[in-house]
Every structure is written in C-alpha cells, then in structure tokens.
C-alpha cells in the first residue's frame, strides 16, 4: 500500500515532467508545428495534468483550493496554444475536455468529502479562489462553451478545405480515407491501422491525419454534446438556486438546440427565459433571444408567433445592436438600422398578404386566413407595448345623456420606420359609441402626417405621438369607458391595444433612458394631468318643470284651492293630463 510519502514523491515527479514539457513547448512555435505534433504534446500535458490534479485532490488539507489554482494555471497556459488554423477545432475539443474532466474530478471529490470546501487563500501570494470555482457546474458550463467553439472552428476549417482558397493548397479531402488509430503510448504519433511496414504500423502523413479527423468530426454531433454539458451544469446550478445563471444556461442550451435544428425545443426553452430578461431590463439578451425565436417561428411556419417576435425585436432601442443569430450590424451600420428596415418591410408586406415567407426548406409558405389570423392583444404588461401603445383623455369628467363629448387619443410606436394601418377602430364599453376611421371622421393634430394613403388609413411616425380627436355621443347613462384601439394591418392581421389613462401612463422600461419621444402624449398640460379614459354619463335635465303650491293647510273632507305652475325648458306646452 502506498503511504503519504509515496504520493508526495509521485506528485513531485509529475510536476517536474509537466514543467519540462512546458519548456519544450515554449521553445517551439505552435503555429508552425504539424497538427500531429501539437496533438501529441497536448496529450502528454493532459495526462500529466490529470495525474497531478488527482494527487492534489487527495493530498490532505486545502485540497480543492490547491487543485483549482493548479487547474487555473494549466487552462490559461495551454488555452493559447492553438496551433495551425486547420487544427483549431482539435484544440478547442481538447480544451473542452480539460474542463469537463476537471469538473468530474471535482464532483467526485465533493461527493466523498466530509467537509464542504470554502474559498480561501491561506498561502501568501496565492490568488484567491472564488466560490464559483469550487463548483463542478462552473467547469461543465465552460466545457460546453468550448464545445460550441469547437463546432464553429470545425465549420470554418471545413469551408476552407472544401473551397481551397489558396492556389497551392493540398486537397485534404481528396483520396481514400485511412483508418488512423491512437498511439500505443501517450505522446507517440498515431498509427495507420491497415498499412504496415516490417510488421510495424506506419504513421500517417499530415494530409492523411487531417483527412481522418475531418471525416470523424463530420459525424460528431456537436450540438448534442454541448447540450449534454449544459444540462449537467444546469442541474447542479439548480440545486444551488442561482436563478440568473440557470437562465443563462438555458439560453445557451436553446441556441444549441437551434443549431441541431430542433426548433420546437428552442422555442420552448428560449420562451421560458426571455420573460426574465424582459423583467430585468436586459435589452441585449432580449434581442438575442427574440432573433432565435423569430427564426424558429419561421422554420415551423407559425405566422402569429413570427409576427409577434418580429415586431418586438424591431421595437427594441437602437442602442441594442442586432448582432446575434441571423441579423448583424456592420462598421457602417453598427446597430443594424438597415436590417431593421428590411425586417419591418418584409413583416408588414407579409401581414398585408403581399409577400410570402418561406419556412424551412421543403415546407410550404406561411399564409394568413380567417382560420389562421395574426391577431395580437397588447395589455399594459405586454412586451408588445413598445410596438403600439395608446392613451386617452376625455375633455370633461361628466356629460349629459345624448350630448356630445370630445376625447383625444394618442398613439405611439417604436418601430424603426413609419407604419400605415389600413383601418383603426376605437372600442368603448358601450358598443354604440365604437368608432372606425373607415366610417367616421377624425381630427388629426399633426396634419402634415395625415396623408397616409386612403381616408381610412392612419400613418404613425416612429417615436412620435399621433394625436386624434373624436366626438362621442353616449346613448346610455352610467359609465362610458374607452377600452382599446384595434389597428388593422391587413385582412387577417390586427393589433388589439388596451388604452391607458394619459395622467397615469408609465414609460416603457426599455426606452426610459433612450432619446426619441419628442413630446408628451397631449399638448394640453391640464388635460394631460387630469384626463381620464372614463367619463360619467348623467341623465338629461327635465324639459318640463311642475310646481304645486297650497294657500293653507286643509281639514279632512274640506275642499281648498292649489296653484299648479308648469314651465317648459324646451318648446311651448300645448296640452297635458
């Protein structure tokens, strides 16, 4: 049985070998080394690191903190040793494996340890270890991130191999594949299993070596490998009740499901996290999630969701660059204004049914119909409040039944370019008061913007209140309340927007610190401070007044005269009973 002294001696020898290997690597240029050579050196480093980490974890006091410090140095030193460009995906696969294996070592250690490790820096001059670095979930998460980097690096390398951009480049993919096996010992060159020379396996050439790895990598399921690591980290973080980190993991996991073309699962996962991002006010993360959600809705042929996510994405502040997924900015257009305009034009034309949107390859185009309309409702808590919001104010607090009262309704949009609604309806709790621009006349305060096409249409400028005034006659006494604005974009596309009191309206969270809205909802300050969306309808005043007067008290059975006075507030009276 090994005693503690044997473990200390073994650790010393492994550390010496590790240091000597670093000296060998430092004396060479990794970018100029063949990919095989780089892989060999990292294989030796990985083996030595595993031995050292395992011994440190069982070395007595401060085992976890010491091991974490060691791993931190190992990862930061070798993470820069990428090697040749064409083998970068092998490097990131190696880095991902380092974090995964270390997470497993740490998890096994914590499962058998009697005391929970705590962050400390007992040794003078040693860096402090954070609480996060002592959690295996942290390493699984980073391993998943590098697995994603492995996928992107391989895709870039594959494109380079297939296009042969350099005229003198060797076509690595040409020629029959060779079965390349692992070396007999760690640090040796790999072997060609089916080609032997004097009963000894030959080493592959650099071209044969890369061809074999590329063919293997083509069959490797990168998204599912990353998802498995994200899931493992998510399970461990969930036990720790760290909500924001678990949402971040879900977001990363959703993007990998998108890469795997599992669009339904992507929508389910990202739909569960985007609400928290809205609540926290993280506009950039909201924009990233909406980009993927919109594309998933398109691939699944979900017209209603496609319109919702597209509109919300467009209405985010311009300070949020659309640089995630399929929408990207540029040096000339860093915040993607051109892309925003293209997206809005495409979306509006789709809702007007003048453009077809193709879902995923091979599927039929998305269409709108009476059975499948694109109808969205916006309440005071809806994220689509950025797309369309409305507030209203009656000019008075009471009105007599049958009398005319005026109200002003102000409508605002944060879409990047002007939008024209074919028809706008204003709904009340008394249906007889409902208003439509196609049937009634309106008074627009901004006459220069009223030339929006047909008489029934209404044009909204970005971040500029559209104020319209209408006259209303209530036919029932009691409460008269303005409920909603219904904006029609097409035959089967409407936005039902709940109206707000102009005096109690709150700013839209994402736009609180953004410049843009040029004026308050109403130009009249008094009306803006006291206007309400509810008015009380009173019974009308009597048109005839009758008064009865007696000269003196009368006795029972006695006749006495009374004076009846009838006065008319309207036309003269002719007869009566």
Note the pLDDT tens digit of each residue in 313-336.
Answer: 998 887 776 654 333 444 445 457
DSSP letter assigned to residue 357: B
The backbone region for 91, taken as left when phi is positive above 0, alpha when psi lies in -120 to 50, beta otherwise, is alpha
Q: What is the mean pLDDT of the chain?
A: 82
Percent of the chain with pLDDT over 70: 83
pLDDT for position 330: 43
Lowest mean pLDDT among 113-122, 313-322, 557-566: 113-122
pLDDT at 26: 84
pLDDT above 80 for 533: yes
pLDDT-wise least confident of 67-81, 185-199, 320-334, 405-419: 320-334
pLDDT at 4: 55
- 274 near 290, Cβ under 8 Å? yes
Does residue 311 have a pLDDT over 90?
yes
CB 458 within 8 A of CB 424: yes
In the structure, what pLDDT confidence band is assigned to residue 552 with cuts at 50, 70 and 90? Answer: confident
Of 147-151, 486-490, 543-547, the one with minimum mean pLDDT is: 543-547
Distance between CA atoms of residues 470 and 476, nearest Å? 18
Give the tokens for residue 544.
């005839």
Q: Are 249 and 234 in contact (CB under 8 A)?
A: yes
Confidence (pLDDT) at 559 = 82
374 bridge partner residues: 493
Would the CA dihedral through 138, 73, 115, 123 be positive or negative? negative
- Confidence band of 97 (pLDDT split at 50, 70, 90): very high
Kindly give, in sequence order, each residue whose CB lies less than 8 Å from that of residue 485, ignoring residues fewer than 6 positions away.
Answer: 388, 390, 409, 411, 424, 425, 426, 427, 496, 497, 499
Strand ordering across the sheet containing 200-202 = 180-181, 191-197, 200-202
Ranges 284-298, 314-328, 364-378, 423-437: which has the least confidence: 314-328
Q: Which residue has the higher pLDDT, 270 or 8?
A: 270
* Average pLDDT of the residues in 256-263: 94
What is the Cα–Cα distance from 80 to 97, expressed in whole angstroms?
15
pLDDT at 165: 47
Phi, psi (degrees; rounded to nearest 5) at 483: -100, -50
Other CB atoms within 10 A of residue 372 CB:
13
Least confident of 39-48, 288-297, 325-334: 325-334
Q: What is the predicted pLDDT for the residue at 232? A: 95
**Distance in angstroms (rounded) separating the CA atoms of residues 236 and 253:** 15
How much is the pLDDT for 198?
52
pLDDT for residue 438 is more than 70: yes
- Report pLDDT digits (tens) over 260-292: 999 999 999 999 999 999 988 888 899 999 999
Q: What is the pLDDT of residue 186?
A: 78
Measured between alpha carbons, how far is residue 460 from residues 345, 495, 502 in Å?
15, 14, 18
* DSSP-assigned states of every residue in 169-225: ---TT-S----EE--SSTTSPPEEEEEEETTEEEPPPHHHHHHHHHHHHHHS-HHHH
Backbone angles phi, psi at 538, to 5 degrees: -100, 160
243-259 and 222-240 helices, crossing angle to 10°: 170
Tell me the range of 182-186, 370-374, 433-437 where mean pLDDT is highest: 433-437
Strand partners, 535: 480
Mean pLDDT across the stretch 45-55?
91
Return the number of other C-beta atoms located less than 10 Å from residue 63's C-beta: 16
**Model confidence at 388, in pLDDT bands (50, 70, 90)?**
very high
Cα distance between residue 79 and residue 388, in whole Å: 48
Residue 14 pLDDT greater than 70, yes or no: yes
- Determine the pLDDT at residue 325: 38
Residue carrying structure tokens 């621009």: 437
* DSSP state string for 398-419: EEETT-EEEEEEEEEB--SS-E
Q: Which residue has the higher pLDDT, 564 or 256?
A: 256
Given a cut of 60, is residue 169 above it in pLDDT? no
């Amino acid at each position: 049985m090994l005693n503690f002294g044997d473990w200390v001696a073994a650790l010393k020898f492994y550390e010496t070998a590790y240091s000597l290997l670093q000296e060998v690597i430092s004396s060479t240029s990794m970018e100029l080394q063949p990919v095989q050579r780089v892989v060999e050196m990292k294989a030796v480093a990985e083996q030595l690191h595993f031995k050292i980490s395992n011994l440190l974890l069982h070395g007595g006091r401060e085992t976890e903190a010491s091991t974490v410090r060691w791993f931190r140095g190992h990862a930061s030193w070798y993470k820069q040793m990428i090697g040749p460009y064409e083998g970068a995906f092998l490097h990131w696969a190696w880095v991902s494996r380092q974090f995964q294996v270390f997470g497993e070592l740490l998890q096994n250690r914590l499962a058998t340890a009697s005391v929970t490790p705590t962050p400390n820096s007992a040794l003078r001059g040693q860096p402090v270890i954070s609480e996060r670095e002592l959690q295996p979930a942290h390493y699984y998460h980073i391993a998943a991130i590098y697995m994603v980097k492995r996928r992107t690096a391989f895709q870039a390398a594959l494109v380079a191999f297939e296009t042969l951009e350099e005229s003198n480049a060797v076509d690595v993919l040409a020629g029959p594949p060779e079965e390349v096996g692992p070396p007999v010992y760690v640090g040796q060159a790999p072997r060609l299993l089916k080609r032997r020379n004097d009963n000894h396996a030959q080493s592959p050439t650099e071209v044969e070596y890369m061809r074999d790895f590329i063919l293997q990598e083509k069959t490797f399921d990168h998204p599912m490998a990353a998802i498995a690591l994200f899931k493992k980290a998510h399970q461990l973080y969930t036990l720790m009740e760290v909500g924001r980190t678990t949402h971040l993991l879900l977001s990363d996991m959703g993007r990998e499901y998108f890469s795997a073309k599992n669009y339904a699962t992507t929508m389910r996962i990202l739909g569960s996290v985007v609400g928290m991002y809205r609540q926290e006010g993280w506009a950039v993360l909201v924009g990233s999630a909406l980009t993927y959600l919109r594309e998933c809705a398109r691939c699944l042929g979900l017209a209603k969701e496609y319109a919702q996510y597209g509109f919300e994405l467009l209405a985010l502040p311009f300070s949020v660059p659309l640089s995630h997924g399929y929408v990207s900015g540029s040096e000339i257009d860093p915040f993607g204004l051109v892309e925003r305009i293209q997206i809005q034009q495409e979306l509006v034309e789709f809702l007007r049914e003048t453009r077809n949107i193709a879902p995923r390859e091979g599927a039929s185009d998305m269409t709108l119909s009476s059975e499948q309309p694109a109808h969205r409702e916006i309440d005071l808590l809806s994220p689509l409040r950025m797309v369309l919001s409305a507030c209203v104010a009656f000019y008075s607090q009471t009105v007599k039944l049958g009398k005319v009262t005026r109200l002003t309704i102000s409508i605002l949009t944060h879409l990047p370019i002007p939008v024209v609604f074919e028809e706008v309806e204003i709904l009340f709790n008394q249906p007889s008061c409902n208003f439509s621009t196609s049937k009634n006349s309106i008074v627009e305060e901004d006459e220069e913007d009223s030339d929006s096409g047909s008489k029934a249409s209404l044009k909204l400028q970005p971040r500029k209140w559209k104020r319209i005034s209408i006259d209303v006659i209530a036919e029932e006494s009691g409460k008269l309340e303005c409920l909603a604005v219904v904006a029609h974009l097409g035959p089967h596309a409407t936005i039902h927007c709940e109206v707000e009191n102009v005096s109690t309206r709150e700013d839209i969270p994402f736009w609180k610190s953004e410049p843009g809205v040029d004026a308050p909802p109403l130009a009249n300050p008094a009306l803006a401070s006291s206007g309400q969306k509810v008015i009380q309808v009173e019974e009308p005043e009597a048109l005839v007044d009758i008064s009865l007067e007696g000269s003196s008290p009368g006795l029972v059975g006695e006749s006495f005269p009374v004076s009846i006075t009838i006065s008319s507030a309207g036309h003269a009276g002719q007869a009566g009973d």
